[in-house]
Structure formats: C-alpha cells, structure tokens
Amino acid sequence: MKKSMLSTRQSYVVCAIGIIVLFLLVMAVCETGLASIYIKGIMMTACIAVIMTTSLNLTIGVLGQLTLGCCGFEAIGAYTAALVSKLIVAHGIAINNTGRFLIAVIAGGIMACIFGILVGIPALRLHGDYLAIITLGFGEIIRVIIQNLKFAGGAGLSQGQQGQALIGIDRLANLYVVFWIAVITVVFLFMFARSRYGRAVKAIRDDEIAASASGLNVTYLKVLVFAISAFFAGIAGGIFAQYIGSLNPAMAGWLNSINYVIMVVFGGMGSITGSIVSAIGLTILPELLRAFSEYRMLVYSVALILVMIFRPQGIFGSWEFSLPQLVNRIFYGKHADDGLMKPVDSGISARESNPPQEDAR
C-alpha cells in the first residue's frame, strides 16, 4: 500500500517549521557570540539585498520588463522612513523603538508605492530598452531632487541643509525583525507569482497582444506589479536608513540599480530561490575577497562573466526550491513524484478517452 504524500495544509506547516528552524539557527549564531558585529552587519545587508532582489525579480522575471530605477524607489523609502522617524521624536510621541522602526519602514514603503504608480502609468507604455532608459532617468531625477531638498539634508526637517547627507538617523534596525520582514516579503512575492494575478502577468510577459486579446487588463496588471515592486524597494530603503544611520543621495544612482539587476540575472529571472541565493552570495563574495583588495572586483567580474557564458539563464533558471517536495521525496520516495503527476495525467486521459458527445437530434 502506497503512503500518502503531504497535504496542502501539511506542506504549509513544513514550510513554517523550516523558517522557524532557520530563525532559531540565526539566533543561536548571534546569541552565542559566534557572529561578530561585522558578521551581523553582513547578515543585515544580505536581508536588505534579498528584499530588493526578490521585489525587482517580480518586475524583470515575472513581468519581463527591464527597469533600472529600483534604487530610486529605495531612496524614496529610505528618506521617508528617516524623516518620519525624526518627526516622531520631534513631536515627542511615546512609542518603543520597534514600533517606531516599523511605522517608519511602512511609511517608506507606502511613499515608494505611490511614486511607483505615478511613474509606472506613463513608463509602462514603453518596452525593452526604452523602459530601461526612462526608469534610469527617473532614478537620476530622484537623486537630484533629494539633493536640493533642505529638509532631506543635514540634520533633517527644520534643521536641514540642501546638498548635504542626511545624518543623525536613529539606528533602530534589529536583525531579528528584519529577518521576519524579509521572510514576509519572500512569502508574499512567492504566493503572488503563483496566484491568478501572477499567471496573468506571466501571460503578458509571454505575449502581451494575446493576453490583451484574451481580456486581461494589461495596463492595470503592469502598474500593479510595478507598485508592489516599488513598495518592497521602499521597505528595503527604510530598513537601510535605520541601519546605516545616514543617507546620501548617491544611493539612488544607476550603478546601485544595475548591481541589483545583476543579482536577479545571476540567480535566474523568474526564480525567487535564485534571487535569494544570488543576493546572499553576491553580498558575501566581495567581503570574502576584501583581503585581496586589489583584485577582488576583478574576481567578482570574472565570476559573473563565467556564469553568463556557461549558464546564461542564471544559476537556477526558473527552478524553485520546495521544502515539502523534498520531504515527500525523502519519506515517500518515488511514489511522491508519481502522486504529483497522477491527478493531472488521469484528468487528461479521462477527458481524452471520454470526449464530450454532441446531442443527437
């Protein structure tokens, strides 16, 4: 008698257990002193990179539109979060550090989302290189505007000075809180990509004309994806601001945006797993090569070139890691794959063997 595989509810439980185990592992490394402040900083940076890369993958991989202005949305979220945090302190609002951190981060995400909608409505009428150029210009516009805002420089708010870096931001970012924000981001984007909205967006990516002829609201779905991506980029910016403690308009530069695009392409466009692995790997790699300061960027570049030559679709392509599927294979072996295919095959064969019959008249 064949053993039954995990049900849908059991699969969710397995995923939850896996995330909790990973979190406990991170806690164990941090609380036992195995991770220095330097290592914790790398982990924090990796979490921010995961949020940025997975959100950008929604636009590049799922929607199939190349954008080079993601750091513009990150900068909007970062400055908004920093100023909101300063505003809460200036008005003497009694709230703990975690609450202030979360309010500031969410405010940054919402502001970036609003700008994502405003930019996305006209920009997403374009395709390919034209869209990349207009989003690149958007990032530069954001950088110049921030540089000329008095309240976004110096000490900020009423004491701000135009053309200066924003300083004096309270460093409220906590690694454990940021870890769960990254988990929520990945889970949401993963579920969205597999929802009916995600399938509709993939249809637009494959053939926009056919998708429009099928009745899909192409403009609405494009702007929706752009807004969601901008929201999470703003979230990442809010975390970054309250981790670093100071901001410079140069963070909205196009070179930083290209760095995140490289992470998406390196991991595999359309693969959330690939984006996570590449974000963590390309965050750690420059730090590992820091001892070879003269050659580290050369090694970094060569590694990227080799991957693009021998694996142009990215390391993971469109493949996704599934913990429940791994559990099925370990405990149920070959029957797990048979069980996964049987409902689909049997349904198709049933329809083929019993085609609908016309009414006899």
Whether residue 332 is contained in a domain is answered as: no
* 51 touches 182 (CB < 8 A): yes
Q: What is the pLDDT of residue 350?
A: 39
pLDDT in tens, 175-220: 999 999 999 999 999 999 889 999 999 999 888 889 989 889 998 9
More confident site: 1 or 300: 300
- The per-residue pLDDT for range 224-280, each reduced to its tens digit, is 999 999 999 999 999 999 999 999 988 888 888 888 998 898 888 888 999 999 999
CATH number at residue 54: 1.10.3470
Question: Is residue 49 assigned to a domain?
Answer: yes
Q: Tell me if 173 is assigned to some domain.
A: yes
pLDDT at 282 over 50: yes
User: How many structural domains are present in the chain?
Assistant: 1
Structural domain of 83 = 36-322
Distance separating alpha carbons of residues 217 and 60, to the nearest angstrom: 19
Q: For residue 342, what pLDDT is reported?
A: 41
In the structure encoding, which two tokens stand for residue 198, read together? 């995600």
Cα 54 to its chain centre, rounded Å, is: 2
Give a yes or no: residue 341 inside a domain.
Answer: no
| pLDDT of the residue at 4 | 57
pLDDT for res 304: 79
Structural domain contains residue 307: yes
**Long-range contacts from 171-174, C-beta under 8 angstroms, 24+ separation:** 171/242, 171/243, 171/244, 171/245, 172/85, 172/97, 172/98, 172/100, 172/101, 172/104, 172/242, 173/44, 173/101, 173/239, 173/242, 173/243, 174/98, 174/101
Q: What is the DSSP string of 292-336?
A: GTTTHHHHHHHHHHHHHHH-TT-SSTT----HHHHHHHHHHTHHH
Output the pLDDT for position 346. Answer: 36
327 to each of 47, 252, 290, how far by Cα in Å? 26, 42, 38
In a domain, 109, yes or no: yes
pLDDT at 183: 95
pLDDT at position 311, please? Answer: 83
